[in-house]
Structure 1
Amino acid sequence: MRGMVAGLANASPFLEMLPAIFQEDPFTERFVAGFDDVLAPILATLDCLVDYFDPYLAPEDFLEWMASWVGIELEEGWPIERRRAVVATAVEMYRMRGTVAGLRANLQVLTGGRVEIADSGAVGWSRSPGADMPGEASPRLAVRIRVHDPSSVPMDLVDSAVAAAKPAHVVHRVEVDRP
């Protein structure tokens, strides 16, 4: 085995950077080769550093760490594509947090399905005082998720996502079925 990582060579060997007189010396060649072996993994990582910060390209172990930067815990059983999508959309999800559109987008990323939300609330305005209030008197939220495999939906996670996104006094119901 040559080097600290089998088969990994330094893209720019240090021996080639030395003056010609040193390149011809066998001792210097062996001595500098040790630095190439030790530093090759570090230099390879630095060459690809920008890719480490892209959730779609980062190594899986780094993706877990990146998820902690945005306050997310990834489920172990999720496919890697879903875990990458959750991390990639986290900041945008925080911007839309507390809205129906934000909840829909969040649940679509979490489940991979189509999400329908029925909300009894509404927003309106009127120029005349005493106008009818928008929405319904009893606040409620109904969420329907349509996926090909309903057993793949982590219901505890979905329920906690809905509970975190809605006002505390609003009751909610979550249904999962096939399209």
Structure 2
Amino acid sequence: MTTKNADFNYASLLPELLQHADSGPGSGGDAVPPVARLLKVIDPMFADLESLLDQIPDYFDPLRAREDFLPWLASWTALVLRADWSLEQKRTVLSKIIPLYRKRGTKAGLEEYLKIYVGEGASIVDEHDPMQVGTISTVGVDTVVGGMPPYLFRVNVAFTTPDPAELSRKTESVRAVLDIEKPAHTYYSLSISGPTFQIGVQSTVGIDTLI
């Protein structure tokens, strides 16, 4: 449906009999039919309704719906939008959640979910790195005899933010996503990395540098 222009005359939709003014006794010579005068009063209401109807497709599009409508739209997919997600992240997750549900419980699905939130700096490893003498060689610390323990996977996340508070908040969000989306019988180790120390750029401890 397209919105009718301001000059559209709703009276033209009336039966022929009602489109003509009453020329009988008591009409006062009024050239405008009574019903047409009534329609002019409610024309603005019709215009508002038509405008709302024109927007209905947008309400079902996560990328175009109003922000306050997104939680209700998310409820259709059993998705709870986190308050600390940006508007763009909410729209992206909501637009991809149905295809992601088809991959739920898989490495690919969980990795894709994390990348929506942290970008390409997220990866999942479900096999232990091979032993390297002098690098990875301490049994019980960084080496497991026979491979990784059953049902364990490792998550590596690289954030670009230098702000310690933001880094802490995003780490909590990543853990929340992992706790909800991982298979129930599995557990994980999480490795977080951030921007490196740069003198004159990122060098203020407690503000943009972590020790």
Is the structural similarity TM-score above 0.5? Answer: yes
**Matches of 1:45 and 1:82, distance apart in 2:** 26
The answer to whether the aligner puts 1:176 opposite 2:187 as a matched pair is no
Kept in 2, the 8 Å contact 1:120–1:141? The answer is: yes
2:60 to 53, 66, 82: 53
Kept in 1, the 8 Å contact 2:74–2:94? The answer is: yes
Task: Please list, as runs of the form range in 1=range in 2, the aligned pairs for 1:14-163 lying within 5 A after superposition.
Answer: 14-18=10-14, 19=16, 20-21=19-20, 25=32, 27-120=34-127, 136=147, 138-139=149-150, 140-149=152-161, 151=166, 154-163=170-179
**Matches of 1:79 and 1:63, distance apart in 2:** 12
Percent identical across equivalent pairs? 31
User: Could you tell me how far 1:37 is from its partner in structure 2?
Assistant: 2.1
Q: Count the aligned residue pairs.
A: 157
Kept in 2, the 8 Å contact 1:120–1:138? The answer is: no
**Matches of 2:9 and 2:70, distance apart in 1:** 30
Structure 1 runs of 4+ aligned residues shifted over 6 Å read none
Higher helix share: 1
TM-score for the superposition, normalised by structure 1 = 0.72
Counterpart residue identity of residue 48, structure 1 = Q
Counterpart residue identity of residue 126, structure 2 = D
Q: 1:28 to 1:155 in 2, by over 3 A?
A: same
Kept in 2, the 8 Å contact 1:99–1:165? The answer is: no
SS state at 1:141 partner: strand
Kept in 1, the 8 Å contact 2:122–2:156? The answer is: yes
Q: 1:96 to 1:13 in 2, by over 3 A?
A: farther
1:164 to 164, 176, 180: 180
User: Could you tell me how far 1:155 is from its partner in structure 2?
Assistant: 3.1
TM-score for the superposition, normalised by structure 2 = 0.62
Kept in 2, the 8 Å contact 1:70–1:91? The answer is: yes
**Matches of 1:118 and 1:27, distance apart in 2:** 76
Instruction: Decide which structure has the larger Cα Rg and report it.
Output: 2
User: Could you tell me how far 1:104 is from its partner in structure 2?
Assistant: 0.6
